[in-house]
Amino acid sequence: MTYWLQRAGALARAPAFAAGVRDMLTTLPGLGAWGLVTGVAVVKAGLSLPLALFMTLTVYAGTAQLAVLPLLAAGAPLWMVWFTALCVNLRFVVVSTLWRSYFDHLRLRHRLALGYFSGDIMFVLFTQRYPEGVKQAEQLPYFWGMASASWLGWQIPSIAGVFLANVIPLEWGLGFAGVLAILGVLYAMLKDTATWVAATVSAAAAVAAFGLPLRFNTLVAIATAVVAGLVMETAQKKGLRHGR
Amino acid sequence: MDAETHWLWSWLATAGLALITLVTRAFFLIPKEPLPMPQWLSRGLQYAPLAALTAVVAPEIFMTDGHFLTTWQDARLPAAACATLYFVLRRDILGTIAVGMLVYLPLHIGGGW
């Protein structure tokens, strides 16, 4: 126990930890508004107060929570609840292949913890700071700085939402702040033709395939964007070789 | 379901959801050995996080109840447009959120857009 506390203390004192907190902070008003709305929605779906708190603190996945709430409210079979969450979360499985290149030297317990705390926005911010895919010692404190800010920035508003569910009307659409935060993060990533094309293709595919069940539209969008990005890279290389 | 079964079912369901978060987010971090992956695939996967975020956000801007917007009078459109313009000018995420919400909330709550 003391060993872990010492280790956590050393991580938190590293300068990169503060940088991670700082980079995450800019997105927190958006993420927090989303957390607040999710907390409200959990209670409105009819979950008891202790269960709502348990869900907020342990599940820690906004899109999955929102997707299964109607199923929980309707008393759907367990397998259906779990299968839905699994499908909504498949995008994380894809992104976990990328975290590997930075953290596969750590022990299993630490790798599991990293995975659990890695949200949607974090990898994007992480690669802006470390685009090369090369391991550096400061990456671990940077990750935990982002993860701590992200956890608190989600949990505090989400718990507030659980307690204030009857005061905060969902009709206000406060969750739109979360959409705007992601939009900002996305724009910051668009650095060349390939990323522009990948993002445009992904947006179009996600909307066009929205009719698919279990949010499979996300997977369709990722697959088409990956192909589009690769095609663009190849085309650009050919263009360079032929001297334009 | 009687009350007791329902209680057990809902707690079990939620505990399972927590486990699913852990397993999906950590999935390819679990094996110790390197993943056998063709080079083109690992290069292509660099676009996955960007694509995943876009796929989460695009329907939230352009769709209502599973259908493409049929009207321009939707607060999300001018809000997203102003937020985009702000980002282009300042490249600042915090301000992007603020500008977007300043346009969105009055139109949505006040104007019913």
The residue that leads in pLDDT, A138 or B7, is: A138
Q: What is the DSSP letter of B67?
A: E
* Site from A63, A82, A99, A180 to mutate, B interface, most B CB atoms within 10 angstroms: A180
The Cβ of residue A224 has, within 10 Å, a number of other Cβ atoms equal to: 21
For A76-127, where are the E strands, in sequence order? none
ipTM (interface predicted TM): 0.88
Closest partner residue to A26 among B48, B93, B109, by Cβ?
A: B93
Find which of A116-120, A158-162, B92-96, B105-109 is predicted with most confidence, using mean pLDDT: A158-162
SS3 A197: helix
The pLDDT of residue A8 is 87
Give which of B62, B66, B65, B75 is closest to B105, Cα–Cα. B75
Residues A53-67: pLDDT tens digits? 999 999 999 889 988
On the question of pLDDT at A240 being above 80, the answer is no
Give A-chain residues touching B77 at CB under 8 angstroms.
Answer: none
On the question of pLDDT at A244 being above 60, the answer is no
On the question of pLDDT at A188 being above 60, the answer is yes
For chain A, where are the E strands, in sequence order? none
Enclosing H/E stretch for B68: strand B67-68
Residues B23-73: pLDDT tens digits? 999 999 999 888 888 888 888 888 888 898 899 899 999 998 888 888 888
Q: Is residue A82 domain-shared with residue A195, that is, in the same domain?
A: no
Number of domains in chain A: 2
Which domain does A198 fall in, by range? 190-244
Which residue among A189, A205, A220 closes a domain?
Answer: A189
Give which of B10, B53, B91 is closest to A186, Cα–Cα. B53
Contact B82, A158 (CB under 8 A): no
Q: Is residue A93 domain-shared with residue A214, that is, in the same domain?
A: no
Q: Is residue A169 domain-shared with residue A213, that is, in the same domain?
A: no
Closest partner residue to B29 among A99, A207, A218, by Cβ?
A: A99
The pLDDT of residue A243 is 56
Interchain proximity B45–A103, CB inside 8 Å = no
Instruction: Identify the residue whose tokens are 């109840």.
Output: B65
Q: Is residue A111 domain-shared with residue A195, that is, in the same domain?
A: no
pTM given for the model: 0.87
Q: Is residue A84 domain-shared with residue A194, that is, in the same domain?
A: no
Q: Is residue A81 domain-shared with residue A24, that is, in the same domain?
A: yes
Give which of A13, A35, A14, A23 is closest to A151, Cα–Cα. A35
The pLDDT of residue B107 is 92
Cβ-proximal residues to B18 (8 Å cutoff; 6+ apart), any chain: A58, A59, A60
Contact A183, B84 (CB under 8 A): yes
On the question of pLDDT at A96 being above 70, the answer is yes
Q: B64: which strand partners? A: B67
Cα(A153)–Cα(B86) distance, integer angstroms:
24
